[in-house]
Amino acid sequence: MSALSAAQLLDQPFTTVPALIQAFAREQPQHLALIHTDRQLTYAELDALMDRIAASLQRDGLKAGDPIAICASSSIEYAALYVGALRAGVVVAPLAPSSTPDGLATMIADAGARHVFVDASTANLFATSRAHIKARFFALDDAGTDSTGAPVGDSFKQWLVDAGTKPAPVELSRELPFNIIYSSGTTGTPKGIVQSHFMRWMHVQRAAINLYDTKTITLLATPLYSNTTLVSFFPTIARGGTVILMAKFDAASYLAIAQKQRVTHTMLVPVQYQRIMALPTFGDFDLSPFRMKQCTSAPFGAALKADILARWPGGLVEVYGMTEGGGTCSLRAHENPDKLHTVGKPAPGHDIRLIDDSGKEVAQGEIGEVVGRSPAMMNGYHNQPEKTAESEWRDGDGNRFIRTGDVGRFDAEGFLTLMDRKKDMIISGGFNIYPSDLEATLREHTDIADVAVVGVPSEKWGETPVAFVVKKPHSKVGVDELTTWFNGKVGKTQRLAKLEFMDQLPRSAIGKVLKRELRDAFSARGESV
């Protein structure tokens, strides 16, 4: 590892997260790196644990480029294992506990992971499949047995080499895979998105604009398997700040921790912001230390952004991009209060373009699919070269762009407004209908708390829109009244064929509405519209 200072490393064209953590361990050994509930780890302690983890993996024969898998709740052990594996050049595949047992087994096999790390919260996911998975299991929290009475895995603590053991030095190249992030798999077999050490370095480097430094205290309430979390976790830890992990989000607990720990940074998804801002006690908490709040992963309503700007101190940045990388847009909402309906402008060094169905760029002001190019781009989909090729678009000079599947439009000032996911667009009677437009209109009604619009098959129109609505507490509005109100406000082609009330919308662990589930459930009932 390099003996350069952290400041010198951060000024290099390329450096690695493990090298930066080691530098901060030398320069601020007693500074807190990780906090989880009542436990904490200093930079010196984290660096020493990373050495033991890296050396343990090397003892087991894992080399640079070999993968491990982690499926567990956020914890100090999880975070340390992640960065410790990186020190050995080992690739981390963080898996979502919300996946099915078969899906998890498929992802472990696809990654080729020889070691799988779990905890008590996820052990039962592998109860029926562990015998068929060709990997060694370890219990991060030393959990005993699963629901079948079988051991969860070998003890993580006992697996570690003795304290003070140093791993063999490993040169981490730019192209070396850093992690494999698996997609949600809602449209088929999950795809493993391979991100390189250079791609993560780009995330660390660009974090300076959002004021990440050694005084940063970042509160993370989304899981460590999600890229949403990691794009804030790694910049914090690689710039000498402190990360506070919440294993499970709760709005009131979040605010209590933020006040107690004098949190300066956070990354939340829109539904978390919505729940926090809706708390009657929100104004009772001292949030004055906040410097920057970030949001990504799902549509972020303009009204919610405005509410956050009005009542929550510090800046607000919406980040629009993909785990695959490519182009990123950034809306610095506190600097552009008149652009809250957009996702901002392309980040510095990012090239965002819009293309039509034939792959040609559209004219200024026209709608097209968003494609992007930047220094931060995935290597590709693991073991799926055809899927990788499908995700790419090349301009006239042969430059590689990543297709987002989102449809948007640039305004005259270069701000991007998203219309919808391309696959969610409804084509009804030959007309393009964007569900986001319908959802925005429905949200104008004072009785609506949440809404999703999807297209369902129609014999007459091909497809037609159906709305799923969550009412505010104590609302008395009825289906017919709300449908009549909405259909009177929109054009004939946008009218709803049906509106249904729900207690809540199905969402992923990071807050995305699972529209496929809504469509499938509606279709399964066999109703005609």
Q: Cβ(95)–Cβ(108) under 8 Å?
A: yes
pTM of the full predicted structure? Answer: 0.89
| Residues counted in the chain | 529
Q: What is the pLDDT of residue 276?
A: 97
Question: In this predicted structure, what is the pLDDT of residue 186?
Answer: 42
Delineate the domains of the chain, giving CATH numbers in brackets: 42-193 (3.40.50.980), 351-424 (2.30.38.10), 426-524 (3.30.300.30)
With helix as H, strand as E and coil as C, how does 444-493 read?
CCCCEEEEEEEEEEECCCEEEEEEEEEECCCCCCCHHHHHHHHHCCCCHH
Amino acid at residue number 232? S
What pLDDT does residue 2 have? 52
Residue 405 Rama label (left phi>0; alpha psi -120 to 50; beta): left
Query: Around 46, how many Cα atoms within 13 Å sit in the side-chain half-sphere?
Result: 38
* pLDDT of 188: 52
Per-residue CA distances from 369 to 364, 387, 418, 485 (Å): 13, 18, 10, 32
Taking a C-beta distance cutoff of 8 angstroms, is the pair 373, 400 a contact?
yes
Using CA atoms, how far residue 468 sits from 94, 217, 453, 481, in Å, is 32, 38, 6, 15
Residue 281: HSE in the Cβ half-sphere, 13 Å Cα cutoff = 8
User: CA-to-CA distance for 434 and 427, rounded, in angstroms?
Assistant: 9
Nearest to 491, CA basis, from 427, 529, 438: 438
Q: What is the pLDDT along the chain (529 residues), one digit of tens a residue?
A: 458 999 999 999 999 999 999 999 999 999 999 999 999 999 999 999 999 999 999 999 999 999 999 999 999 999 999 999 999 999 999 999 988 898 999 999 999 999 999 999 999 999 988 888 999 999 999 888 888 888 899 999 999 999 999 999 999 999 999 999 998 644 456 899 999 999 999 999 999 999 999 999 999 999 999 999 999 999 999 999 999 999 899 999 999 999 999 999 999 999 899 999 999 999 999 999 999 999 998 889 899 999 999 999 999 999 999 999 999 999 999 999 999 999 999 999 999 999 999 999 999 999 999 999 999 999 999 999 999 999 999 999 999 999 999 999 999 999 999 988 888 889 888 788 989 989 999 999 999 999 999 999 988 888 999 999 999 999 999 999 999 999 999 988 899 999 999 999 999 878 889 999 999 999 888 887 8
User: What is the pLDDT, as a whole number, of residue 508?
Assistant: 87
Burial 175-213 (b: 16+ CB within 10 A, else e): ebbbbbbbbbeeeeebbbbbbbbbbbbbbbbbbeebebe
Q: Which segments of 135-226 does DSSP mark as H helices, in order?
A: 156-159, 197-206
Reduce the DSSP state of residue 272 to 3 states and report it: helix
Helix and strand numbers, DSSP H then E, in the chain: 15, 27
Phi-psi region of 133 (alpha: psi -120 to 50; beta: other; left: phi over 0): beta
Residue 185: predicted pLDDT: 46
Element (H, E) at 108: helix 101-111
Classify 251 as helix, strand or coil. Answer: helix
Task: Determine the 3-state secondary structure of 505 from DSSP.
Answer: coil
Closest CA to 45 of 72, 83, 90: 83
Please tell me the predicted confidence (pLDDT) of residue 483. Answer: 97
